[in-house]
Structure 1
Amino acid sequence: MIRLREAILQDLPEMLAIYNEAVLNSAATFDLEAQTLEERTVWFNIHGGKYPLIVAELEGKVAGYACLSPFRAKPAYAYSTELSIYIDAGFRGHGIGSTLMTDILNRAADLGLSYGHQRTGRRQ
């Protein structure tokens, strides 16, 4: 069963491994080099409150995470966010991404934030 909760600093090494796998094996992050724990700690610390960061646990491990991050520093973007979801390669295909997406979108709505158009890949 997938368990969602707020991320804590102790989750960061597992989250870093998930992120760096995406850096090295996809174009999803737009980073060109793996991140260090120190770099991701700075990233971690901008989250909370208006910018939630949640993890999905499965089988007692961090299987993925989702967050809302500031989109741009300009005042007109104060209610716009960047939505990110990363799933551990070993846990893909278990519905974790969909579960995280639903939860983080609900949190965005509760906070009065906007996000980009969600594409489902299905014809309507």
Structure 2
Amino acid sequence: MLVSQGQEAAPLPHRLAGLGGKVEMADDLFAGLEAVIEDPAGYGLCVIDCDCFGGLAAGRRAHALLADVAKRVPVILLSKECAAQEFPENRGDAVVLRAPTSGISLRVGFEHALRDRLAMRLI
């Protein structure tokens, strides 16, 4: 699930699709969150373009709304306000990337967020 709005999102869906998987978009924050909460098994990742919805603080509040779901569905927050990218060890915490994100940064964040699932493929 990619939660974003407007032209700023233009390259992002293509970059995410290039990493593998189908990209479903929501241009309303709460509609996107609701879709993930209602069907967590249907989504392997939730990416939120925080700058479309009020900045990094709004993205962190949105992540908090996912609460238990975030332990099953990894979350990546993208924001221009990001001073230092975050790659947390706790599975329930969001990966935070600086926007606009480069292809390499997005790949690293994607692989970190999905590290448990990617490790299972190797077994």
Higher helix share: 2
Shorter-chain TM-score: which interval?
0.3 to 0.5
Structure 1 length-normalised TM: 0.32
